[in-house]
Structure 1
Amino acid sequence: AEISSRAGVNYGQLGNNLPSPATSVELIKSLRAKRVKLYDANPKILRALKGTDIQVSVMIPNELIPNVSASQSFSDRWVRTNVVPFYPSTKIRYLLVGNEILTNPDVGTWFNLVPAMRRVKLSLRKFRLHKVKVGTPHATNVLESSFPPSNGTFRSDIAVRVIKPMLQFLNRTRSFMFLDVYPYFPWAAEPSNINLDYALFQAHNVTYTDPLSNLTYTNLFDQIVDAVVFAMKRLGYPGIRIFIAETGWPSAGDVDQIGASIYNAAVYNRNAGGPGTERHFGLLYPNGTAVYEIDLSGQTPLSGYKKPLPPPTTNEPYKGELWCVVAAEEGSANETALAEALSWACSQGKGICDPLQPGGKCSKPDSLSWHASYAFSAYWAQFKKLGGTCSFNGLAALTAKDPSIGRCKVPSGRLA
C-alpha cells in the first residue's frame, strides 16, 4: 500500500490558554509542517490558514454523524457553511467524518458512518469541490488480530457491516484509509517483550520477520501499519492508500506511564515526522514554546539540532509505592461524579471504607475529596492484581506522594 509522506500536525483546541489562530499558524509554519488537521471546521483557524501552502483537514464532529447520515440537506448545509466559504484560498484537501468512531461505544453510530461519508461526497460534488477527499480516522483497535502482521484481521463486529463497504467507498473515490498509529501503547503494555529501540525507529540490530509473509520489519510502526494492509487485503482491497492521521510519543505522563519522556518523544518524532494529539503528545506548549526541537520537513539531520535532550528517566516501570487519589485540585472536581465514584468504590470490597466511618481513624478531614482519595486508593490496592484500575472515569490518578494524614495510613500498591 502507498503511504502519504508529507508530515503535518494536529491542531488541538482543548484549553483556555492557547495562542490565537494567527499565532498558531505562524508556529505551524515554523515547524515546517505541510499539513494540519483540525478536529472541527473552526472558521477563525480556516481564515488564518488562508493563502498558506498548508494542506488542511477539517472534521465533522462525531455527534453530527447521525444527522448527516439521515439527511442529504443537512450534509449540504454543513459543507456549504464550513467548507465552501474558505475553499480554495484555504487549501482544504480532506473532509473527515468523525474521529475514531469505531472505537466509540455508541454502536449505533458505527452503522451511520459509511452512509454519512457517501452523503458528504455527494455534497462536495454538488459544490464542485472535486479535490477534497472524504475519509475517517481509525484507531488500530479496529483490528481483531495484528500479530504477525500477515494475520491482520478486522474485528468481526465491524468487518462485514462497516469496514468492507467503507473500503468500497474509499476505493471508488480514490481516497485514503486514515490511521492513528501509536507504537507507544503496545510497547508500554509489554516493555519486557518489545525492544524500546524497535519502537523508537532506533533498532539497528533488532528485526522481526513475519513467518507467513517472510517480510522483515525494522520498527514497530511499520509492523502495525502492515497489519492493517493485510486486513484490507483479506477483505479484497489491498491497494487503498494509507494516510497516517496521528502518530507520536508522549513527552511526559503520570508516574505509571513508562517511557513517557521528552527524550523518547523527540527521538520518535524526529524519525516519524508526526505528532500525536493526546495529553503530552504535542510538539508545543500552550504558550507556543517548543517541547523539543523538530523540523517536520525532515531536512534537518539528527546532528543538526542544537539543544541536547534531557536523558530519559522513565524507561523502566516505577518500583516504589503508589497511591490512587483524586486527580483534580481540592474543590475543582465534579462533586456529583466524585460522590458516585466514592460510593461505588466503597461498595466493591468488604471493609474498604470502614476507616472513613464517623469516629474512624481516617474520617477526618470530613471532605468529599479526601474520602474519595482514600476510597480510590484502598480499592486500587485491594483489586489491582485482579485487574482493578486507578481511573474512576478520569477522576483519579496515581501519585508517588503518600497522602496519609496523622494516624490514617492510606493503602498503597505497586506496579510490579
Structure 2
Amino acid sequence: MALLFISFFCVIAISSSVVSNRIGINYGHLGNNLPSPAQSIELLQNMNMGRVKLYDADHEILNHLSGKDIEVAITVANDEISGIAANQHLADQWVYEHIVAHYPSTRIRFVLVGNQVFSSVNTPEDMQIALDLVPAIRRIQKTIKSQGIHNIKIGTPLAMDMMETTFPPSNGSFKPAISDLITPLLKYINGTKSFFFVEVYPYITWFDSQVRNHTAINLDYALLRSRNVTYTDPRTGLVYTNLLDQMIDSVVYAMAKLGYNDVMVAIAETGWPHKGELGANRANAAEYNNNVIRKMTTVPSVGTPARPGVVIPTFIYSMYDENQKYGPNTERRWGLLNPDGGPVYVVVNVTSGL
C-alpha cells in the first residue's frame, strides 16, 4: 500500500501547486446576538482570513464580500438537492441567483452541495437526497460552465461518520452501506479536479476515547503539540505525530481502496470547543487552532505522512459561538469571536490583529 501512494505524490503536488494555503473560517449565523453581516465581513478582514465558508448563499453577506480579497464557499441546502437533481431549470435558477448575481466581484471559489448528506440515510427521504447528490452537482456544474466560469470547484462536506474504520490509517475504509454513494461522488471529484471535503474533529475522537473507550488518546497528540508521542502505522511504516494527520490519511487510504488515489482533500470544518464538556476550554482551543493554522499555512506545505507537501485547504470552525444551535452546550462553544466581535482567545495571525 505504501508503494501505491508514493506513485502519485508528484501528481498531487503538481495539481495542488496553484491552490492557496490561506486559512479559512466557517461563518454561521445561528445566533440572536451576533454582529451584522457588514460588521462580520469587516471582522473577517481584520482577522486576515483568506477564505470564508457559508452554510447558505445569503445575498446580504455575499454583497458585503464584494471587492474583498476573501475566497468564498457557498452552500446549497440539503432540501434543495432533489429538486435541482430533477430539474435543470432549478439548477440554472440557483446558479443565476446565487453565483452569477455576485460573481466575479465576490470571489466565489467553492460551491458545496448539501452538508453531511451521507450521515443519515435511514429514511427514504434522506436516502433519496443522498442518491440525488451527484446528479444535482452535475446540473449545477453544467450551468456554471455554460456561464464561462472555470475557477469554481464543486463538492460536498462529509462527516467522519462515513468511515467504517480509521485506525490504523492504512486500514481506513468507508462504511459499506454508503459505498455505492461514495463511488460516483469520487468519480465526479476526480474528473473535475475538485476536492473531497471532510469535517475532521480530533476533539470528538479524543473525547470519545476518554469517556467510552478503554484506551484513551493522548491529549497532546490530539492538540497537535505532541513531541514525544507518535504512532507508527504497522502496514506502511509511516510515523504520525498528531491525530489530525492520522484521521485525514485514513480517508486518503479509503479513497485509494476504491481506486481513487489522487483525489485532493480539503478540510471543511475543524476546531476545538472552548467551553462545555471534558477538555473543552480556552487553552486547549487556542492550542489546537493555533497549531492547525501554523501547519496548514506553512510554506512549503507540510501535508500529511501519506501525502507530504500537499496543500490542504482548511476552514476553522467557527467564527462565532452560535447560541441557537441544538445539542449539548459544547455545540455552541466553538467560536473564535464573542458576540461583541472581540476574541474569545488569541489565535496567531488571526484574532491577534483585532
**Which of 323, 339, 342 pairs up with 1:286?**
339
Q: How far does the alpha carbon of each residue in 1:15-68 deviate from its partner, in whole angstroms, 9 at most, with x for none?
A: 122111111011111111100000010000001001111000000001111111
Structure-2 residue corresponding to 1:32: 48
Structure-2 residue corresponding to 1:358: none
**Which of 240, 245, 270 pairs up with 2:268?**
245
CA distance in 1, matches of 2:333, 2:32: 16
CA distance in 1, matches of 2:236, 2:278: 32
**Which of 138, 148, 156 pairs up with 2:158?**
138
CA distance in 1, matches of 2:317, 2:120: 19
3-state SS of the aligned residue for 2:275?
Answer: coil
Residues 1:223 and 2:243 aligned together: no
CA distance in 2, matches of 1:98, 1:190: 29
Structure-2 residue corresponding to 1:19: 35
Residues 1:235 and 2:254 aligned together: no
CA distance in 2, matches of 1:295, 1:178: 25
Q: How far does the alpha carbon of each residue in 1:273-313 deviate from its partner, in whole angstroms, 9 at most, with x for none?
A: 2521442111111221110111356xx9xxxx79xxxxxxx
TM-score by structure 1 length? 0.69
Within 5 Å, which residues of 2 pair with 1:113-192? 113-159=133-179, 161-191=180-210
Q: Which amino acid aligns with 1:173?
A: T
Within 5 Å, which residues of 2 pair with 1:287-306? 287-296=340-349
**Which of 62, 75, 78 pairs up with 2:78?**
62
CA distance in 2, matches of 1:123, 1:217: 42
3-state SS of the aligned residue for 2:332?
Answer: coil
**Which of 271, 283, 290 pairs up with 1:263?**
283
CA distance in 2, matches of 1:245, 1:282: 15
Task: Give, in angstroms, the shift of residue 240 of structure 1.
Answer: 0.8
Task: Give, in angstroms, the shift of residue 108 of structure 1.
Answer: 2.1
Structure 1 residue runs without a partner (length 5+) = 307-416
Q: Which amino acid aligns with 2:201?
A: Y
Task: Give, in angstroms, the shift of residue 107 of structure 1.
Answer: 2.1
CA distance in 2, matches of 1:295, 1:63: 38
**Which of 263, 271, 275 pairs up with 2:316?**
275
Structure-2 residue corresponding to 1:316: none
Q: Which amino acid aligns with 1:276?
A: Y
Q: Which amino acid aligns with 1:16?
A: N
Q: How far does the alpha carbon of each residue in 1:202-240 deviate from its partner, in whole angstroms, 9 at most, with x for none?
A: 110000000011111000000000000000000011111
Moved more, 90-99 or 13-22: 13-22
Whether the aligned pair in 2 keeps the contact of 1:32 and 1:295 (CA below 8 Å) is: no
Residues 296 and 228 (structure 1), Cα distance of their counterparts in 2 relative to 1, 3 Å cut: farther
**Which of 116, 120, 134 pairs up with 1:104?**
120
CA distance in 2, matches of 1:125, 1:189: 43
Task: Give, in angstroms, the shift of residue 199 of structure 1.
Answer: 0.2
CA distance in 1, matches of 2:186, 2:164: 17
CA distance in 2, matches of 1:149, 1:249: 22
**Which of 103, 108, 112 pairs up with 1:92?**
108
CA distance in 2, matches of 1:107, 1:188: 30
CA distance in 2, matches of 1:250, 1:86: 33
Q: Which amino acid aligns with 1:294?
A: V
Whether the aligned pair in 2 keeps the contact of 1:270 and 1:296 (CA below 8 Å) is: no
CA distance in 2, matches of 1:30, 1:294: 12
CA distance in 2, matches of 1:138, 1:119: 20
Give 1 or 2 for the bigger CA radius of gyration.
Answer: 1
3-state SS of the aligned residue for 1:158?
Answer: helix
More helix by share: 2
Q: How far does the alpha carbon of each residue in 1:315-345 deviate from its partner, in whole angstroms, 9 at most, with x for none?
A: xxxxxxxxxxxxxxxxxxxxxxxxxxxxxxx
Greater relative CO, 1 or 2 (CA 8 Å, sep 6+) = 2
Q: Which amino acid aligns with 1:212?
A: R
CA distance in 1, matches of 2:222, 2:22: 21
